[in-house]
Structure formats: C-alpha cells, structure tokens
Chain A
Amino acid sequence: MIHPTDELTALLDDALPAAQAEAVRAHLAACPACRAEQARLQGAVALLSALPPAPEPSPFFGARLEARLRAEAAAPRGLRARLAAWRWQVVLPLAGAVAAAGVALAVGLHHPRNPEDGLFAANLELLEDYDTASAVGVDEPEDVLVVAQLDRLERREGRP
C-alpha cells in the first residue's frame, strides 16, 4: 500500500484537485495510520489557529508613514536622479582632487630647474611645495601653484 502522506496537508487545506482528493479520502477510510497522521497535522493546524491575533498597528502608524512618504516625495526619484543629487557631495570634490593632481603634474613637468629628473622627482618637489603651502594655510590648487612659482623665483635669486 502506498500512503499518500504528502497529500494529507493539501487535503486539509482543500488544495487538491477533486479526483485526487477523493482518492486520498478513500485511502484514509481504509488506513488507520494515515488517519492518525492526518489527525496529527490537523492538530498542528488547529494550534496555529489558536494563537492570539497579531497586534493592531499603533495609532501613529499612519502619521509616521505619511511623514516618510513626504520625505520620499521630496527626495529625487530613480537612480539617475539620486546620482545627480550625490554629484554635489561626491563627484565635485572628486573632480577637484583630480584637477589638483593635474595642476601638480603640470607644475612638475614644466619645472625649469631640473627637467631631466623626470616625473617622480618633479612630483616630490611639488609635494614639498605643497607641504609649504599647507604649513601657511594655503590649500587651493591655484594657491599651491603660486607658492611653487614663488619658491622657484626665490631659489633663482639665491635666497635661502
């Protein structure tokens, strides 16, 4: 005898096609073991139904949700819009940093005193200039360039 144990829950839930349900019922009428198993499953279903109901939404549910929806409505929609919003926080500072690096590279490459030293040495020198600039509270790329030029002029003129 093949016991239709996998169908017993679906039978309880009235989720079997009519012909299959009839076949399982016929089996149950002749099989005490399957009837016991079905009673066990039915008992579990009854216990789950006996649980207290879920709590009601709090009185502030609607007000809180409305507040969140107002914030959503005010926020930019979609990935493109969100990226556009982030541009001012992320992209522009990043672009500024890239521009500063470009200025630094240009100053290094066009430094007249030691053109043969190559890129690395030039950048090291620029870093020293940048340290100087930082020490006097100058942090804009343009200001760094000015400091670098002044420093070079001073050295040409033999100043310490």
Chain B
Amino acid sequence: MDDKQALVALMIGYQSADRTAAELLAAKVYPMLHRFYSSLGEHERADDLAQECWIRLHKARHSYRPPEPVLPWVFAIARHTRVDQFRKRARSSGREVAMEVGADFTAPAAEPEPTVLPLLEQLPASQKEVLLLLKVTGMSLEEVARATASTVGSVKQKAHRAYETLRRLMGEKS
C-alpha cells in the first residue's frame, strides 16, 4: 500500500471514529501543515494555524469522500484557514498595538545559508503557494489543482513561471 492509499485508509478510519486511525492521520498530516504554514512566512503563527486547521479538518471530516485523494482535501481547508485568519487579523489590526519582537535565538548558527528560500519572497503569492504545495506535500500537479480549486494547466503554468523567476534570480545573484 503506498502513502496515498494509506492516507485514504486512515481517513476512512477517522470518519468511523477509530481513534488509532485519527492519531496516525494527525501524526502524518500535522507536520506537513506546520511546514506549509512555516514555509509561507508564517513562522510565529505556524503552530496556531496548524491547530486551527486541524480543528476545521475535524469539523469538516464528513465532507471527505473516499477514495478521493486526502491531501488535496486537507490543503484546500489549510489554504482557507490561512485566508480566514488573515482576514480576521486585518480586521483587528487597527485595534492592536504591535509588540517589539526579540531576537530569534532558536535559529541554528551552523546550518549552511539558504539560497533558494529567501528568493521565494520575490514570487507572486499564488506561484509561491503552488511551488510549496508541490515541494512540502509531494502532491502531484492534479492534486495541487484540486487543493487550489484550479486547473492542472494553471498549476503547471504557475510552477513553470516560479521556476523561471527563481532561475533568473539565482543567475543574477551568482
């Protein structure tokens, strides 16, 4: 049984209230969600977003239909969670006072300096998201199309443009 079929089996177990299946599913999906949010630049909020997303996945678990792929269902809700939280923050930002943030002591000093990751910031949001969905989750083009409610052609085009821009930027840098 491959990874995708295993996820479908776990999801079926989750829908029929099997605790072991639910915990195994959380163990597989939660790190992916955390990595996805963190890679999108939501480092401080990645924990909150991943937990909020899990709550929504739990509430929406009836909307999954086996044997469809699980990850597009998960990441469609994950994207929606992020957009919703962004809207809520935008509404409340006028009432909040920004706090000073201390230095990040958790960053390991010995790691090699990243070369591609900082360049992602220069990509349009939709291209960056598609690229990360392909790389973080290992979903296929068709699955990313499902997660982003678009077509395979559109996903392919965004990924291609993102790679082109990254290649150009890396060329300029070197």
Judge: A and B partners, yes or no: no
